[in-house]
Amino acid sequence: MQTQYVAFPAANQVSCDSETLDTSELGNNEAVITSEASIISAGTELARLAGLEGMEFPARPGYGMIGTISERGPDLDDFADGERVFFAGKHSSAQRFTHRQGHQWGHLFRLPQDIDPVAAAVGCMAQIAITAPNITELKQGDTVAVFGLGLVGILAAQLYRLRGARVLGVDPVASRCELARSVGITEVCQAAPGDQVAAVRAWGGDGVNVCCDATGVAPAVANAIHSTALLGQTVLLGSPRAAWESNTTDVLKAIHMNGLTVRGAHMWRFPLIEERGVDHSVERNFRVVFDLIHRGELRVRELISHVIKPKEAAATYAGLRDQPEQYRGAVIDWR
């Protein structure tokens, strides 16, 4: 089988290459999956393209994939031939993938069979975003401020809103604020970082019940903590990557004096498979977000600015890195 795939030959280099995929002698839990769509992660993949996170080159990137099972190994009885699935694979037109590896990147997940594959590819980001509301102690009508209206931030804001919260989106960039409004986040604060704390505290009436940072930028996390009301919660959804030199005493004092709860919201905190007595799992989270996308309650198509063909990958990674206002989100269409 002749396939196309995206590669990182070296740091800050992207190519689209081809090869012959050997589909013989599949492992017991292995499948050959023909791709429909895959989403590019502007956070994780751009960090790896830059040589961060221990990346070694040459490399084959990947993230969230939607595809169809064309062949199965002898023990892969959870799924059927021709079934559409979500999985964390490489950006490739077809590939071999092993199910039941015991972690979420080595597992196939079901999705509605008639779902739009481009919209479904966003399910990977939505599963990340749903971690925040899932770990938040939330009451109907609580106020929530989401800092950072990128893809994950806007998804988190929608999911908090679906949980019954009154949500404020916070971002210094006008186009991101407008995008949030377009998917139903009606209350948005466009403010420079130095003005955000005062604006959020004024909106919430001396702070908000929950502040969720979706940026991973340390100064934004500090703003979120200073914007959280007495006895409130600050949720860290974004992954911090860049160093920050600062006197943190004011941040620690705000946590201490105001009785704040700071919660880490990385998606790996949940078990892979649904188990009795466990409220949340990766499997359940995917089922929930795919259902919300399928029913149109979680709006995602507006968040994808570029649906591309594989040969456009190099230009698209460059756009996500250098023109983030124009390249809000990108999905590769392999069909």
Question: DSSP per residue over 126-170, as a string?
Answer: HHHHTHHHHHS---TT-EEEEE--SHHHHHHHHHHHHTT-EEEEE
pLDDT in tens, 185-238: 999 999 999 999 999 999 999 999 999 999 999 999 999 999 999 999 999 999
pLDDT at residue number 278? 80
- 209 lies in a domain? yes
Half-sphere exposure of 275 (CA within 13 A, CB side): 8
Contact, 291 vs 117, CB < 8 A? no
- 288 lies in a domain? no
Same domain, 71 and 99: yes
pLDDT at residue number 82? 96
Rounded Cα distance, 182 and 236, in Å = 25
pLDDT at residue number 330? 96
User: Domain holding 65: CATH number?
Assistant: 3.90.180.10
CB contact burial 113-139 (16+ within 10 A = b; e otherwise): eebbbbbbbbbbbbbbbbbbbbbbebe
Same domain, 50 and 113: yes
- 102 lies in a domain? yes
- 294 lies in a domain? no
84-90 and 188-190: which strand pairing? unpaired
- DSSP letter (8 states) at residue 8: B
pLDDT at residue number 156? 98
pLDDT at residue number 243? 87
Same domain, 170 and 261: yes
Same domain, 105 and 213: no
pLDDT at residue number 104? 86
Alpha helices in 295-330 (DSSP H): 313-322
| Tally of domains within the chain | 2
Same domain, 160 and 252: yes
Same domain, 72 and 144: no
> One-letter amino acid identity for 132?
A
The dihedral sign for the CA sequence 49, 54, 55, 56: positive
- 84 lies in a domain? yes
pLDDT band at 325 (very low <50, low <70, confident <90, very high): confident
Same domain, 134 and 253: yes
> One-letter amino acid identity for 82?
G
Q: What average pLDDT does the structure give for the chain?
A: 95
pLDDT in tens, 72-125: 999 999 999 999 999 999 999 999 999 999 888 999 999 999 999 999 999 999
Q: Which two tokens stand for residue 311?
A: 């040969």
Rounded Cα distance, 224 and 80, in Å = 46
pLDDT in tens, 5-64: 999 999 999 999 999 999 999 999 999 999 999 999 988 899 999 998 788 999 999 999
Same domain, 22 and 97: yes
User: Domain holding 220: CATH number?
Assistant: 3.40.50.720
- 23 lies in a domain? yes
The dihedral sign for the CA sequence 306, 310, 311, 316: positive
For 255: left if phi > 0, alpha if psi spans -120 to 50, otherwise beta; the answer is: alpha
Rounded Cα distance, 270 and 64, in Å = 18
94-98 and 84-90: which strand pairing? unpaired
| Last residue within a domain, chosen from 268, 293, 313 | 268
pLDDT band at 241 (very low <50, low <70, confident <90, very high): confident
| Last residue within a domain, chosen from 268, 291, 321 | 268
Same domain, 111 and 148: no
pLDDT at residue number 45? 93
Range of the domain at 238: 128-268
Question: Is 144 a residue whose pLDDT tops 80?
Answer: yes
pLDDT band at 254 (very low <50, low <70, confident <90, very high): very high
Contact, 76 vs 96, CB < 8 A? no
pLDDT in tens, 286-303: 999 999 999 999 999 999
228-236 and 208-213: which strand pairing? parallel
- 49 lies in a domain? yes
